[in-house]
Amino acid sequence: MVKDEKRLRIGVLGCGPIAQAAHFESCTKAKNAELFAICDVADDLRERMAATFAPTKSFSDYRAMLDDPDVDAVIIATSDTFHVEASRMALDAGKHVLCEKPLGVAVEEVEGLRAAVESSGKVLQVGHMKRFDPGIETAKAFVDTEMGEKLGYKGWYCDNTHRYAMTDAVQPLIVTSANARKPAVNPKADLKRYYMLAHGCHMLDTARHLGGPIEAVEAHLTQRFGAYCWFVTAYFADGTVGQLDLTVAVRMDWHEGFQIYGENGSVLGKIYNPWFYKSSDVDIFRESDGGWHRTLGADGHFYRRQVEAFARVILDGADMVGADIDEGLASVRAMVAVARSAETGGRLVRLADVTGAV
Ligand SMILES: NC(=O)c1ccc[n+]([C@@H]2O[C@H](COP(=O)([O-])OP(=O)(O)OC[C@H]3O[C@@H](n4cnc5c(N)ncnc54)[C@H](O)[C@@H]3O)[C@@H](O)[C@H]2O)c1
């Protein structure tokens, strides 16, 4: 594969599952970027990843990676609670940041990070990689340029009980280490919170990406047989009322998608388990010609396409398609709002009013 001459030199913080399954390969395959450095406190894990992916440099100390003048940008691939601190350190060191989702776990810490992004003048993109799904790209283009006024938005994200059998079949064997740095409290100790952070943020970013800003929500949570089902009424800024469904885990196949009804047409989207790297099936109906249209989207490597788009913003001054700091913050506010509404039996919660953690 031929790489561009001008390439973003990326250092990846964290050699955990997401780095192994997505970011190392993405940086290696991206035309306009390279896997310049990797970093992990776990020596055994880092050395094995260095042997497999052959970065130019390898660091046990994040500070040392940030001090390297040849590192242009970092990908933050650590546990959620470390995102804001690691992003802030990178910005202070003059590095651009692609931070895994969710950008943070509480409103205030992300508000603080926004000030750091503004004063740094550097690019910060949040890893909402579904925006780089070619099917979702066609939906976004239709909504923005042809659909006219929106009437309604439905979005659903339902992780399924069989997902590990499916992902184990297609992902590389994930290497773990007893020496990995983990948060003081296991994120999975509170599943309600974990599911909102891990999955809710995807559903809410897709809804905001396609439906525009959300102003308020009313949410109900049902918990049965170990499964969690949030049904959310979302009030979009343009007056559209949305229905969102976050369910973990459904007893069937992975079930994710959206439906948007508009003045000049409609869009129906079926999104696949991301690890299949299969573009969403997005059917667009145009009222003007009475016909359906679907793009194949042959290149469904959302994670690599996300890195390439990030590099284009930095190297070529391209517009940011990924979620920026404001959108990362809006996702965190939306998650907090859904959580607070569900705790209070479906009370209307405005995103602008929420404080605290998910
Ligand atoms: N976009 C997606 O589809 C997707 C999918 C899965 C996970 N994620 C996100 O990816 C993130 C990481 O998930 P994971 O399961 O790989 O995490 P993990 O905690 O298992 O692994 C993180 C690694 O980073 C290392 N690390 C942490 N802080 C460090 C520091 N300061 N210096 C050096 N090394 C450090 C740890 O030792 C560990 O090996 C999470 O935020 C998660 O939400 C995103």
Query: By C-alpha distance, which of 59, 88, 57, 90 is closest to 73?
Result: 90
Q: What percentage of residues in the chain have a pLDDT greater than 90? A: 100
pLDDT tens across 30-55, in order?
999 999 999 999 999 999 999 999 99
pLDDT for residue 178 is more than 90: yes
Calpha distance 83→110 (Å, rounded)? 10
pLDDT, position 127: 98
Query: By C-alpha distance, which of 350, 301, 281 is closest to 129?
Result: 301
pLDDT, position 54: 98
Calpha distance 25→4 (Å, rounded)? 17
Calpha distance 302→282 (Å, rounded)? 15
pLDDT band for position 296 (cuts 50, 70, 90): very high
Q: Which atom of ligand 1 is nearest to the CA of 129?
A: 1
- The region, left, alpha or beta by phi > 0 then psi within -120 to 50, assigned to residue 54 is left
Query: By C-alpha distance, which of 195, 206, 218, 231 is closest to 80?
Result: 195
Mean pLDDT, all residues of the chain: 98
pLDDT, position 309: 98
- Residue 160 CA, ligand 1 centroid: distance in Å: 22
Q: If 0-12 CB within 10 Å is exposed, 13-18 middle and 19+ buried, where does residue 277 land?
A: middle
pLDDT for residue 146 is more than 90: yes
Calpha distance 162→199 (Å, rounded)? 16
Pairing mode, if any, of strands 73-76 and 8-13? parallel
CB of 202 within 8 A of CB of 332? no
- Residue 216 CA, ligand 1 centroid: distance in Å: 31
CB within 8 Å of 43: residues ≥ 6 apart: 60, 179
CB within 8 Å of 249: residues ≥ 6 apart: 158, 159, 160, 161, 163, 227
CB of 230 within 8 A of CB of 250? no
pLDDT tens across 221-269, in order?
999 999 999 999 999 999 999 999 999 999 999 999 999 999 999 999 9
Calpha distance 306→322 (Å, rounded)? 7
H or E element that contains 210? helix 201-211
pLDDT band for position 316 (cuts 50, 70, 90): very high
- Residue 45 CA, ligand 1 centroid: distance in Å: 13
Helix axes 134-145, 201-211, angle to 10 degrees: 40
Question: Phi and psi of 287, rounded to 5°?
Answer: -60, -30
pLDDT for residue 135 is more than 90: yes
pLDDT, position 307: 99
Query: Ligand 1 pocket: which residues have CB below 6 Å?
Result: 14-19, 39-42, 45, 62, 77-80, 82, 100-101, 127, 129, 180-182, 198, 274
Q: Residue 284 is which amino acid?
A: I
pLDDT for residue 173 is more than 90: yes
Across-strand partners of 269?
A: 258, 282
Q: Which atom of ligand 1 is nearest to the CA of 17?
A: 16
CB of 113 within 8 A of CB of 104? yes
H or E element that contains 249? strand 241-250
pLDDT tens across 147-169, in order?
999 999 999 999 999 999 999 99
pLDDT, position 267: 98
CB of 7 within 8 A of CB of 33? yes
pLDDT tens across 199-214, in order?
999 999 999 999 999 9
- The tokens of 127 are what? 């890893």
pLDDT tens across 12-28, in order?
999 999 999 999 999 99
pLDDT, position 287: 98
- The region, left, alpha or beta by phi > 0 then psi within -120 to 50, assigned to residue 301 is beta
Q: Which of 13, 18, 82 to mutate to test the pocket of ligand 1 (most atoms within 8 A of CB)?
A: 18
- pTM for this predicted structure: 0.98
pLDDT, position 1: 79
